[in-house]
Amino acid sequence: MDFGKIIARVKAILTTPQTEWPVIAAEPATAQSLYINYILVLAALPAIAQFIKGSLMGSGAFGVVVRTPFGAGLGMMVASYLLSLVMLYLLALIVSALAPSFGGQKDPVQALKAIAYSWTASWVAGIAVILPWLGWLISIAGLVYAIYLLYLGLPHTMKCPPEKSAGYTAVSVVIGVVLTLIVGWIVGLMFLSSVMLGGGSSLHSATITSSDGSTVTVDKDSALGKLAAMGERAEKANKELEAAQKSGDTAAQQAAMGKVMGAAMGNDGSVQSLSADQVKAFLPDTLAGLKRESLSAERSNAVGMQITEARAQYGDGNGHSIELEVSDTGSMKGMMAMASALAPESEQQTDHGYEKTYTDNGRLVHEAWDKTSKNGEYSVVVAQRFSVKATGQVDSIDPLKQAVTSVDLSKLESLKNEGVTKN
């Protein structure tokens, strides 16, 4: 195992993918060599980071440092790592089987190359989980870039026509999401027996079969079947991207890339998140008798994907404080809808508090409270696009609930199609 070569490959695939993919496709390799010389090292990064965060650093979400017991954390790390290795190989086999449907050539080893090297961005970004609140944003950026890398790599590794790469990528991404959810649920069932899965997800009915070795059939009534239609939308967006690239118009290229990534994220078109000023306007001047002490807002844009966040800090100078945050997931709207639909209801009670996730009037709700530190969180997903969250040091969970309801949720919901352009 040559760590110097691994680092060089990571740098090349992340910074110069256009020239690196032809090199990767031409390299002789086996599944064993790919695992030993690359995958085993990179796939370990997010698992180790999660262990460091959960069992060594801990979380301060409830005003105190909460750590996963060392033994349980170690077990979760090993289990998630091993399952991710299995999932990667399974996904590569499926991507290989899908190839003829998109004009490509079946080749399990080349498919493993495509998945492993494109997933480099997500593995590297997974280290960011140890950061307080920026971690998830960096992880999302890594996921988005991984999808883009796969889109660039499939024509080289699987020999599919470039015009079919977007559709091929979209279907592969959906399957990858489903497999990732399954892995997450397996790990959760192994180590968090208090979590109760519910909601009757239709994932169990998703089937992928190959009737003649080249045609893939998906159960249209399954969650996967409903989302597989994004492939057609992605192909259309891909044609627009090709035209924009030929024109040399940078603005047109960015807009077209947004449509391609939006399709891969499950959106029927491109989605532009609300402006920072629009989101910031939802934060009141005062909150439950607390004065606003700070206010900030920003809209991030990476690889055509947009997310807008605004947050305000409120306090009374006597130890009571609340942070209120309003987010527009924008280009991640499709994934947010999927997460809302598939999220299991759960409840966990401890001697000093509780944490639960449930659906209320069609909205996904998460609340947590620690009665010892008098610290908690209450968040609501609105219109499967916006998130409103209140955290803080207060006397009970009620002020946090009031903080969230102080935001005009109905008005926010009315903006669910704002910035959405249908393909």
- Binned at pLDDT 50, 70 and 90, residue 300 comes out as confident
Closest CA to 307 of 172, 144, 147, 88: 144
Q: Which helix (H) or strand (E) holds 251?
A: helix 250-264
Residue pLDDT, tens place only, 183-207: 555 555 444 433 333 333 333 333 3
* Residue 198 main-chain phi, psi, to 5 deg: -150, -170
Give me the residue spans of the domains in the chain.
3-192, 276-422
Q: What is the pLDDT of residue 245?
A: 66
3-state class (DSSP) for residue 196: coil
Pick 253 or 94 by higher pLDDT: 94
The answer to which of 246-260, 308-322, 357-371 has the lowest mean pLDDT is 246-260
CA distance 380 to 413: 12
Task: Retrieve residue 207's tokens.
Answer: 């089937």
Q: Are 167 and 234 in contact (CB under 8 A)?
A: yes
CA distance 377 to 401: 9
Q: What angle do CA 151, 86, 305 make, to 5 degrees?
A: 30
**AA letter at 288:** A
- Binned at pLDDT 50, 70 and 90, residue 326 comes out as very high
Put residue 228 in one of left, alpha, beta given phi > 0 → left and psi -120 to 50 → alpha.
Answer: alpha
Q: Are 384 and 329 in contact (CB under 8 A)?
A: no
Q: If you average pLDDT over residues 394-403, what whole number do you get?
A: 93
CA distance 317 to 295: 17
The answer to which of 32-36, 55-59, 163-167, 190-194 has the lowest mean pLDDT is 190-194
Pick 313 or 131 by higher pLDDT: 313
Block residue for tokens 């280009």 = 331
Measured between alpha carbons, how far is residue 109 from residues 28, 96, 392, 407 in Å? 10, 8, 50, 52
CA distance 384 to 89: 32
Q: Are 114 and 130 in contact (CB under 8 A)?
A: no
- Binned at pLDDT 50, 70 and 90, residue 231 comes out as very low
Q: Are 43 and 115 in contact (CB under 8 A)?
A: no
CA distance 99 to 102: 5
- Global pTM? 0.52
3-state class (DSSP) for residue 352: coil
The answer to which of 72-76, 78-82, 165-169, 284-288 has the lowest mean pLDDT is 72-76
The yes-or-no verdict on residue 156 having pLDDT over 90 is yes
DSSP letter assigned to residue 272:
P
Cα of first residue to Cα of last residue in the chain, in angstroms, is 46
Block residue for tokens 């199609």 = 417
